[in-house]
Each structure stands twice: as C-alpha cells, then as structure tokens.
Amino acid sequence: MKAKSLQDLGAIRKQVNDAALAAAAAEEARKEAARRAEAERNLFTSTIGNVKPIAAKDRVFIAPPRPAARPLQQDLDDQAALSESMSDEFDVSTLLDVDDQLSFRRPGIGTDVTRKLRKGEWAMQGQLDLHGFRSDEAREALGQFVRDAKRMGWRCVRVVHGKGLGSPGKEPVLKSKVQRWLVQKNEVLAFVQAKPSDGGAGALVVLLGPSNL
C-alpha cells in the first residue's frame, strides 16, 4: 500500500502494530493452553509421585463363583417315592376306627392319643387345603406337605379335603383318597375327623411322629 500523506502513513503503522499485538496475544494464548494441557497430564504424577505399572504376568484372575447345584436327582427320587408310597388302591377299611367320628391310629398308639386329638389338646401347627385340586395334584401336595411338616418339626396339622358339596353327585371325592394316602405315610401316627368348628367331615386332624424318627 502506498501512502499518499503522513496521515496515511500513520494509519498504516497503526494497522501493522495492531496485527503484531494480535499475533503475540494469540501465541501467548496457545502457549498457555499447552501449559495447562501438560499440567493436567502430569496431575496424577505430581500428586502421588512416580509409580511403577504392575506387570501383566502378576495379575490374578478371580473366576466368579459357580451357581449352587440343584438337587435334581433328589427331587426325582422324592417324586418317585411319593408316587410309589401313596396308592389309590390301598385298602384302609380294616385300619380305620369308624364310629360317630372316623379315626386312625398306628399299631402301638393308644386310644388316648385319638381322644386328645378330637378334643383339640394338640396345638395345630399347619394346614393344607385341597379344595380345587385334582386327584394327582392333591396326592403330590399332601406328600410334600407331610415331608415339609416333618422337617419343620410340626406334630399336629390339619388336612382339609372338603365335603364334596361341589362334586358331581355330591360325593366327597378326595375324602377317602386322603385317608388312604395318610395311612401309607410312615410319618403319620394317627388322625381323626376334625371338630365341627375345624371343618368337621371335611377335614382331618393329623398327628405326625417326632422329627427325629
């Protein structure tokens, strides 16, 4: 650019100086940014000091714990034993004391036991209600209930089989089957028909042997 006067020359010098100042400021800003970046990179080392990386060969891989094994075979054995031990064809007619209130007691169990059961002298510790169960479902549920009650140390439980009022012909389908099944369970020492307030003809009060038997 050619200056035409001293005034033009002054303007040119001012432009040159302004450009130089802007360039210097930009360079200083660049350097400051570089210093901050370096300081951030060195922050860990400057805070903690020099560290030595762990060699890969010294690392230990800890495998996650294996899930607990399910006792599948035991479940299958229990199911097989349940099916075999409670037959619908078992004849209990000679084992039941049939008077005004049905009862059963295993050989060696005195009549005082069933008398106390009828009077409610044993505290009721659990109940199984079989309303709405099909025969095979009821048998499985009853077997499982007896096993669980035995494990928990329960001695007196109630099994509700219903009076059959909702069954075809108004016949208590499960009543006789539950009697057969219970007689075949070694854990069962005795049972009696429940008091009217506890279900009457639609339920049984069952006495189980001690858990250590």
Q: How far is CA 117 from the centre of its chain?
A: 35
DSSP letter (8 states) at residue 9 = H
Domain 91-208 has CATH 3.30.1370.110: yes
Higher-pLDDT residue of 130 and 83 is 130
Q: What is the pLDDT of residue 94?
A: 46
pLDDT classification of 14: cutoffs 50, 70, 90 = confident
- In the chain, the percentage of residues whose pLDDT exceeds 70 is 63
Amino acid, single-letter form, for residue 67: P
Between CA 118 and CA 112 the distance in angstroms is 10
Question: 135-151 and 173-183 are packed helices; what angle lies between their axes, rounded to 10 degrees?
Answer: 40
Between CA 101 and CA 91 the distance in angstroms is 19
Higher-pLDDT residue of 12 and 165 is 12
Give long-range contacts, CB 8 A cutoff, 24+ apart: 101-106. Answer: 101/192, 101/193, 102/179, 102/192, 102/193, 103/190, 103/191, 103/192, 103/193, 104/179, 104/182, 104/183, 104/188, 104/190, 104/191, 104/192, 105/189, 105/190, 106/188, 106/189, 106/190
Average pLDDT on 200-210 reads 93
20-74 tens-digit pLDDT: 788 888 888 888 888 887 777 777 666 766 666 666 566 666 676 776 665 666 6
pLDDT classification of 141: cutoffs 50, 70, 90 = very high
Amino acid, single-letter form, for residue 62: I
- In the chain, the percentage of residues whose pLDDT exceeds 90 is 38
Q: What is the pLDDT of residue 170?
A: 58
Q: How many CB atoms lie within 10 A of CB 154?
A: 18
Closest to 203 (Cα-Cα) out of 149, 168, 169, 156 = 156
**What 3-state DSSP class applies to 86?**
coil
DSSP letter (8 states) at residue 153 = T
Q: What is the pLDDT of residue 191?
A: 95
pLDDT classification of 19: cutoffs 50, 70, 90 = confident
Q: What is the pLDDT of residue 95?
A: 53
81-107 tens-digit pLDDT: 555 456 555 455 545 554 556 789 999
pLDDT value at 145 more than 80: yes
Find where tokens 């100086």 sit.
17
CB distance 204 to 161 below 8 Å: yes
- Domain-wise residue ranges, the chain: 6-58, 91-208
Q: What is the pLDDT of residue 117?
A: 92
pLDDT classification of 16: cutoffs 50, 70, 90 = confident
Q: What is the pLDDT of residue 173?
A: 80
